[in-house]
Structure 1
Amino acid sequence: MRRVVGAVTFLLPLLCLFLLWPVVTTAFDVNPRVFPGVGMVWAALVESVRDGSLFAHIGASLGRVLVGTALGILVAVPLGIAMGVSSGISTFLTPLFRFFSVLAGIAWIPIATLWFGYGFGAITFVIFNAVFFIVTYNTLLGVSAIPMRLRHAAASLGAGRRAMLTEVLLPGALPNIVTGIRTGLGFAWRGLIAAEMIATNVGLGYMLFVARDFYRTEVIVLGMIVIGALWLLIDRLLLAPLERATIERWGLVTRS
């Protein structure tokens, strides 16, 4: 019951927004080319589902996010652990991370298209950059937060490098890593939409871009709703439970 109440509370503002939508557009007689009514958006949804274009755009976008995020995590976690263990590596790389962290994401789109062309490679590279720096930094924070006495205790009990990594460092940093993944995916999702407007011919961002050229505001609004709804589903059904379970698993909080 508590989860149901929480879900209703979370969705209530969105429901109010959808209820106000037709009231405002009708009361102010808004031109559909400026902002469409609910009926037009619903018709666009039905049309895109029937011809399969919506599913093609969603599938392409989700696939790019999955690949780019996976690559970012695979590179970021080992590097973050290495920075957390070695002060020399951390000192050397920290200025570079501070410089490139502000460029992560959509700032890489122009040069990514020059390097990889228009398509999957350029967009995946943009997503990789959006995830990589955030996950690396959070991994570094997680490893740095592990008390030295815990590491020394594990070493005194005979833990080698592999055991220290798999049984002390990685588990201790995991809550921060999952938090970094959740945050990084948010930036990756925004970078994805921006990159798809420029560097591809399929995807939710491309769907918005093409609709603008033909003044199809109902398709633009539909795309915006789909993008927001997909992110809410990913965050609330996958990332938030994973983050909560990870924190509970490693003893930082107790399940209420």
Structure 2
Amino acid sequence: MRHWFSALWFCAPFAVLLVLWAVLIPYFDVNPRLFPHLDSVVQAGLDGIKDGTLIRHIGASLLRVSVGTVLALVFAIPLGVAMGVSPAVSGFLTPPLRFFSVLAGIAWIPLASLWFGYGFGAITFIIFNAVFFIVTYNTLLGVSTIPLQVRNAAASLGAGHWAMLTEVLLPGALPNIVTGIRTGLGFAWRGLIAAEMIATNVGLGYMLFVARDFYKTEVIVLGMIVIGVLWLLLDRLVLAPIERATSERWGLVQRA
């Protein structure tokens, strides 16, 4: 019951917004070109599902986010661990890491479109940038916070490089890594939508961009709702439970 109440309480503000939308827009007779009525957005969603275009846009966006995020994790986690265990590597790479972390994501769109053309490669690169630097920094932070006594104890008990990595460093840094993934994906979604408006012909960002040219505000608002719902589902049903379970597993918080 507690979980059901929590879910209902989480959805309550959105229900209020829907009611206000359904009542106020018709009451003030707002021009549909400025903001659509609720029923027209619902109809646009049903039409997009029937003809398959909405599903195609959602699938393309999710695929790009998945590929870009996985590639970022493959490179970011080892680099963060290396920086965490080696002061020399950390001292050398920290300045460029801080420099490029400010530019991660949308700022790379012009160059990405020149390097990879318009399509999958450019957008994946944008997502990679958005996730890579945040996860690298959080991995570095996680490894750095592992007490030196723990590492020395593991080494004195005969832990080799692989055992040290898999049984001490990665488990100790895992809560920070998961937090970095959760934060990075938030920036990845923003970069994805911006890049899809420029560098592709399919995806939720592209759907918004094309709808603007034809004054289809119902499609624009539908796309915004879909983007928000997808992120909420991903964050609440996947990322938040993983982060909570990881923190509980490694003793950062107590299980309720």
Q: How high is the TM-score relative to the length of structure 2?
A: 0.99
Give the structure 2 partner of residue 202 of structure 1: 202
Deviation at 1:23, TM superposition (A): 1.5
1:18-167, aligned counterparts within 5 Å?
Answer: 18-167=18-167
Letter of the aligned partner of 2:59 in structure 1?
Answer: G
Deviation digits for residues 87-146 of structure 1 (CA, Å, limit 9, x no counterpart): 011111111011101100010000000000000000000000000000000000000000
Deviation digits for residues 165-202 of structure 1 (CA, Å, limit 9, x no counterpart): 01000000000000000000000011000000000000
Deviation at 1:39, TM superposition (A): 1.1
Deviation digits for residues 33-54 of structure 1 (CA, Å, limit 9, x no counterpart): 1000011111111111110000
Give the structure 2 partner of residue 226 of structure 1: 226
Give the structure 2 partner of residue 193 of structure 1: 193
In 1, distance between residues paired with 2:105 and 2:10?
29
In 2, distance between residues paired with 1:75 and 1:90?
15
Deviation digits for residues 23-72 of structure 1 (CA, Å, limit 9, x no counterpart): 22122210001000011111111111110000000000000000000000
Q: Report runs of 4+ in structure 1 exceeding 3 Å deviation.
A: none
Letter of the aligned partner of 2:242 in structure 1?
Answer: L
In 2, distance between residues paired with 1:158 and 1:65?
41
How many aligned positions are there? Answer: 256
Letter of the aligned partner of 1:134 in structure 2?
Answer: I
The alignment's C-alpha RMSD in Å is 0.6
In 2, distance between residues paired with 1:65 and 1:161?
33
In 2, distance between residues paired with 1:45 and 1:178?
33
In 2, distance between residues paired with 1:123 and 1:237?
25
Structure 2 unpaired stretches of 5+: none
Letter of the aligned partner of 2:211 in structure 1?
Answer: A
In 1, distance between residues paired with 2:220 and 2:36?
9
Give the structure 1 partner of residue 183 of structure 2: 183
Letter of the aligned partner of 1:167 in structure 2?
Answer: E
Q: How high is the TM-score relative to the length of structure 1?
A: 0.99
Letter of the aligned partner of 1:145 in structure 2?
Answer: T
Structure 1 unpaired stretches of 5+: none
In 2, distance between residues paired with 1:43 and 1:152?
63
